[in-house]
Structure 1
Amino acid sequence: MNPLPSLQEATAALRALGDDLGRRGWLPATSGNLSVRLADEPLCFAITRSGADKQNLADADVLQVDASGRVLTETAYRPSAETIVHIHLYETFGAATCGCILHVHTVFNNLASQLHFGAGHVLLADHELLKALGHWNEGARIAVPIVENFADLAHLGEAVRAAARPECPGVLVRNHGIYAWGADAFAAKRHLEAFEFLFEYDIRFRQAQAAFGPDAMR
């Protein structure tokens, strides 16, 4: 396993991620939050501050926090309000699985979470991009969990923790967004890109079925 990054390295990674994901429109209106694990035992990680424009992050917009959410750097800023969700995910999975967490709000992940909320998951099957999520077998399928968008963030954090599964590096929050993670920033971004492609495909496929009829899409 690669060594965990320094705060400086994590800050650079988060600034690059914010710029990339922001340009795609995945972090609108200062929404979303991004983090990178810095250490275990005790846990600490770097996370974007509350209210920051993720597409234009400065070094000061990235804060170091511990497992209680306490800020360890000198700053007047507060960490993301959803820091508790990151804490639960880092504590649930080891660094080899969860070294970076990306939470973004997109139209397609919101639509997918609402459309499939009754089932409790989005079933993704028979897609080439499932390989990007670690599923290489023929006929691969995964179920992306969906949890309610609880206003109580402690409750939301517990719901995401309970729903998270090692075989699926992401959890949807209904009409809110997705938490996707990976061993490092590169892996987390790969997973997020795969999820977003597959959610968009699911929605557009259903739109095509509605327009042209189910037989035309066989």
Structure 2
Amino acid sequence: MTGIDALALKAAGGALAAEAARFSGYGWMRGTSGNLSIVMQREPLVLAVTASGLDKSELTDADIVLIDAAGRAASADDPRAPSAEAGLHAHIAARTGAGAIFHVHALDAVVAGHRWPEGVELRDLEMLKGIGHAAHGESILIPVIANDQDMVIESERFDSVYAPPTPRTAEVPALIVAGHGMYAWGADVAAARRHLEIAEWMLRFTVATR
């Protein structure tokens, strides 16, 4: 048992179902692809993650699985297995302090990762302000890591490219996994959605124009 309040869990499930439906409508979570998570508890870390193997356009507030800091099932009462990618969600939450982590299979992010495997440089775009950076005079890099089925390896790769915020610089709250998709995160659901949508727009623009 995790001790997570049932009403809080239902609310988290409803929020994730709504976001999954939104992103499915964009074509970013086709079929059963992608996964979204919300941090339910910090100490010890517990996340609610969209259940694996379900059509993401049709989720309900019950279609979530609780995971621990290692991405393992956190509730002995739930027979469903978490997504194989749950471990990276938990790692990003622990490493960045994010309250929500979204992973989608947006095509332009995959194309950008293929074209620029060392990272996708962005500058002089007004939309940069939406992820905490200056619209002009600043260059940021959306990092790209190689894909692997082992989330311990993926977590190590995340650490190798992640630059935490400092008093003078904001983080880049997005990551591309080559040949796979992208992750974005934020303090809460609204921030994670905003970062994901804005990062995808800038990647789409870059793929179209560079």
Normalising by structure 1, report the TM-score: 0.85
Instruction: Please state how far the C-alpha of 1:43 moved relative to its aligned partner.
Output: 0.6
Corresponding residue for residue 86 of structure 2: 83
Which residue type is aligned with residue 105 of structure 1?
H
Q: Does 1:121 align with 2:124?
A: no
Structure 2 Cα separation of the partners of residues 157 and 28 of structure 1: 25
Asked if the contact 2:32–2:56 (Cα under 8 Å) also holds between the matched residues in 1, the reply is: yes
CA RMSD in angstroms comes to 1.6
Pairing partner for 2:177 from 150, 173, 182: 173
Asked if the contact 1:164–1:170 (Cα under 8 Å) also holds between the matched residues in 2, the reply is: no
Corresponding residue for residue 111 of structure 1: 111
Corresponding residue for residue 193 of structure 1: 197
Asked if the contact 1:102–1:188 (Cα under 8 Å) also holds between the matched residues in 2, the reply is: yes
SS at match of 2:172: coil
Deviations 1:87-108 (A, max 9, x none): 11111122xxx11000001210
Structure 2 Cα separation of the partners of residues 62 and 201 of structure 1: 33
Corresponding residue for residue 101 of structure 1: 101
Structure 1 Cα separation of the partners of residues 130 and 14 of structure 2: 24
Unaligned runs of 5+ in 2: 1-6, 165-170
Instruction: Please state how far the C-alpha of 1:137 moved relative to its aligned partner.
Output: 5.6
Asked if the contact 1:130–1:140 (Cα under 8 Å) also holds between the matched residues in 2, the reply is: no
Which residue type is aligned with residue 82 of structure 1?
E
Structure 1 Cα separation of the partners of residues 106 and 36 of structure 2: 15
Instruction: Please state how far the C-alpha of 1:160 moved relative to its aligned partner.
Output: 1.8
- Inter-CA distance 59–9: structure 2 relative to 1 (3 Å threshold): closer
Unaligned runs of 5+ in 1: 207-218
Normalising by structure 2, report the TM-score: 0.88
Deviations 1:164-202 (A, max 9, x none): 233100111111111100000100010001111111101
Structure 2 Cα separation of the partners of residues 33 and 161 of structure 1: 20
Asked if the contact 1:15–1:57 (Cα under 8 Å) also holds between the matched residues in 2, the reply is: yes
Asked if the contact 1:88–1:161 (Cα under 8 Å) also holds between the matched residues in 2, the reply is: no
Structure 2 Cα separation of the partners of residues 141 and 169 of structure 1: 14
Structure 1 Cα separation of the partners of residues 31 and 142 of structure 2: 26
Bigger radius of gyration: 1
Which residue type is aligned with residue 138 of structure 2?
A
Structure 1 Cα separation of the partners of residues 163 and 52 of structure 2: 27
